[in-house]
A and B are shown apart, each in its own frame.
Chain A
């Protein structure tokens, strides 16, 4: 199922964070959302998994406005991996993954063989099959993230929404998680801080800046030195990755872009 976002406006804590965003996540593709801090990535994603309500505009799931669906109905199509880490309430890995079945279960209903099968398969998909009985809070950061991804898989979703899934992971676990996403070939909408990761993993990128989408397209077309300077305020060259051939963004870590510097001087920041 594809996701279309039309003229989305979202206010959060009294402030308009997303203002007129427009983007598309195509069926079976990994669509990346990049942008500086505060550009509205997380807020936009929160409207897709219905934590926040748009103040204007629409989120369309295969052409249907999300607001025409009940929260449970849309949770059967869209699964989310937010940035939350969960708290210590003595839940096992298996119990966390089984939560993915929530939108399919009536009150008082227990788990049936189908649920157990789906949970076991989701755990196997993320390579955590042998860890079902462990305490969730006893896992390492990388393991936790994979378990949470398994929970999203157990939701049997048409669309996966992930908010900075590689945050706080070491490089090995980042690579593992992103490889897993690529392997799944599901319709995926993912925000990423790491532009190089986004360039290798995503089929299409949308760049958010000030709550609006300022550039869209395949990574190579979108991630240009001009955009780096304008949106992220850094100097960068884009070269070919010597191993994969993907675009590789080489940042100049010594000084921000000229435009940002002069702006800072002018405004006295």
Chain B
């Protein structure tokens, strides 16, 4: 009976053949999603007009005066691109953390880094550092510092046992993360006025509303750089999945690899949280879904997770902006509401296939 329940065992040839076309499909989907993201909103702009505005700007022609240029170039395009960058970054971070702690259900929250970034940002809002520009540089800086401080703390605790045993890393991360969330909650309660509390909560649930061209600069460098770093180590990441000893036997310097992975993960998480708040579930779910489709080989998994994460977050942000007439939804609300059922569905399928 059991054999009837086993998922059809796909051939890897078909999986790796699947990865190429899938990447093309996702790239096209990303372009379409970006166009839709810029076209849709309180003022609808035809897709052709979107592209013509972008083309004029990129080719250096003088922009046609009017509101369309303002809406497309100054408001919606930076936001759509930020969504794509953050989504791609979350896909990469999730893939890296899952290999780092050898657990396919891990994300940066598990290492406490997202919590640290959140605490930094909330402290900035409550202490008034972010005042003035609602999501100004003070806030992003504080989130980044929070992420790196947590990274240093978790690192110091995890390495005391020698090496970076995955379980130790997770335990240290979860403990520190919980501690920091407690602190964050305390600060939220201490927040002086309703406006502050609102902006803190909004930020904690993730938001891309602070997007602007200058804000794009850091993630536009950090996300591709992190991808290259990880892609160069794709084979070592594969080896790490089998275990530390196996990886060592294959010539991988495991302690160094973990150090590098942890550093890349923390810096990238810090950058992402700094520009978009703490967006739940994307980092956990995206690599997991991609793995089910193209298998666990990181040479395929990393680029596809980045692409899928980008498409997903651009689409989610469209929903956030347009679902309600009166106000925007935080990104994290939508990712959680969509992500949790999707994850349960996947887990259910897995349990069925493994029994």
Contacts and interface: CB of A to CB of B under 8 A. Distances in A.
Contact of B251 (A46, A81, A89, A103): A103
B10 interface: yes
A135 interface: yes
A262 interface: no
Contact of A46 (B235, B245, B296): B245
B193 interface: no
Contact of B246 (A70, A72, A84, A88): A84
Given A132-B11, A132-B12, A133-B13, A91 B249 contact: no
A55 B254 CA distance: 19
Interface stretch (A94-102, A169-177, A196-204, A231-239): A94-102
B238 A95 contact: yes
B238 to A, nearest CB: 6
Given A50-B249, A71-B251, A89-B296, A82 B11 contact: no
A86 B245 contact: no
A146 to B, nearest CB: 15
A71 B248 contact: yes
A99 B242 contact: yes
Chain A residues touching B, range:
35 or more
A84 B242 CA distance: 7
A133 B248 contact: no
A88 B104 contact: yes
Given A95-B12, A105-B235, A108-B232, A89 B245 contact: no
Contacts of A86: 241-243, 246
Contacts of B162: 13
B6 interface: yes
Contacts of A100: 250
B56 interface: no
Contact of B12 (A50, A73, A76, A133): A133
B15 A102 contact: no
B105 to A, nearest CB: 11
A7 interface: no
Interface string B216-253: 00000000000000011101101101111110111111
A103 B98 CA distance: 23
Nearest to B11: A133
B11 A107 contact: no
A72 B293 CA distance: 31
Contacts of A76: 251
B244 A108 contact: no
Given A82-B243, A92-B15, A133 B250 contact: no
Given A51-B248, A102-B235, A91 B11 contact: no
Interface residues of B, number: 41
Given A75-B250, A94-B12, A49 B231 contact: no
A161 B248 CA distance: 13
A3 interface: no
B251 to A, nearest CB: 3
Contacts of A8: none
Contacts of B244: 51, 84
A88 B347 CA distance: 13
A137 B242 CA distance: 11
A103 B102 CA distance: 21
A95 B248 contact: no
A50 B251 CA distance: 8
B9 interface: yes
Given A88-B104, A95-B296, A49 B11 contact: no
A91 B297 contact: yes
B295 interface: yes
A72 B251 contact: yes
A97 to B, nearest CB: 10
A78 B249 contact: yes
A45 to B, nearest CB: 9
A32 B15 CA distance: 40
A99 B248 contact: no
A80 B249 contact: yes
Nearest to B10: A133
A71 B253 contact: yes
A244 interface: no
A166 interface: no
A99 B235 contact: yes
Contacts of A267: none
Contacts of A85: 243
B292 interface: yes
B10 A102 contact: no
B12 A80 contact: no
B291 interface: yes
B235 A84 contact: no
Nearest to B231: A108
A138 B6 contact: yes
10 contacts: A49-B248, A84-B244, A87-B103, A90-B291, A90-B296, A102-B238, A110-B299, A132-B12, A133-B10, A138-B6
Given A85-B243, A91-B241, A91-B297, 13 more contacts: A71-B251, A71-B253, A79-B249, A84-B242, A86-B243, A89-B291, A91-B238, A92-B295, A95-B238, A99-B250, A102-B239, A103-B250, A133-B9
Interface of A: 13, 46, 49-51, 70-76, 78-96, 99-100, 102-103, 105, 107-108, 110, 132-135, 137-138, 155, 161
